[in-house]
Structures are given as structure tokens and as C-alpha cells.
Amino acid sequence: MDITVVHGDITTQQVDAVVNAANRRMRGGGGVDGAIHAAGGPAVLEDCRRRFPRGLATGDAGWTTAGDLPARWVVHVVGPNRHAGEDDRSLLVSCYARALEVADELGARTMALPLVGAGVYGWSVSDSVTAALEAFRTTDTDVGEARFVAFSPASYDVVSAAL
């Protein structure tokens, strides 16, 4: 698998699947989640309600339509919230591993990923990147490209250095 990084907006990526850093309720939120729901339009939220009436567990992943996004699917992952006492790093690794597994179920070969857990959930960018790289090394997948999309230049620099 090729692992790349770009500086930009995850909602504009031309890939098979966009990974969303969602919350457990799966009803939209702030940050990446809010941007994906806004750009994808109401079809993303409608599919979340239908597929995940009770939400999704921390560390797990599931998919919906991408609505108006250029991607075909959104793979939603729920990262652990360090500020809420969820400091089990294995849940962060699980987000990335489950995203790959769901992508394989869908037949997705290219993915755009945010830095799951970095931001309001309290994980550092370097924690998120190293968790992803661990999952990528240990998860058998047919995904050909995993593209980190760093929103800020500082995050881009951290991911680039890790790669």
C-alpha cells in the first residue's frame, strides 16, 4: 500500500472512500465530521440514521454513501476521546484497521484519511499517525493508496516526517 500525505480539504479528494472521524452518535458534529456531512449533503446523515440507529462503538467503523462528495463512500470511524478518559491507544489503532477492513468489504482501493482523534478528542497528530502506521503494517488489505489529508501546514509537516 502506498501511504501519502497532502495538505488540503478531505471533502475534495478524488478517492473511492473518505474516512470520517465521527462521534458515537453518528449524526454529524464539528471538525472533519461536520465538514464531511456539510459537503456530502443530507444523504450522508440519512444513511447514518438508517445504518446506525444506535450509533457506533469507539474503535469501530462503518460506511455510508458519500452523497455529494467526489468519493463513492464515507467510512466512519469513532476515535477514543482522551478528554473523556478514553486513553486506550488500541482503540485509535482499531479505527484505522477497521477503516481498511470496511474499505476492503466495499472494494475501495483508494482512501483519504484525516488524523483520527487529533483535535478535539485530545490525541496528538504524532499519536494519530503512529497509530495509523501500526494498523497499516498489521492489517492485510487490498487498499492501494491511503492518503492522509492534513488540514494545517503543521500537521502536514508532522505526517510527512513520520512517513
CA 112 to chain centre: 8
Instruction: Give, for 161, the enclosing helix (H) or strand (E).
Output: helix 153-162
47 is catalytic: no
Position of cell 487529533?
Answer: 118
Backbone torsion region of residue 111, taken as left when φ is above 0, otherwise alpha when ψ lies between -120 and 50, otherwise beta: beta
What's the chain's length in residues?
163
Q: What's the N-to-C CA distance of the chain in angstroms?
A: 13
Active-site entry in 16, 33, 47, 60 = 33
What are the residue numbers of the active site? 33
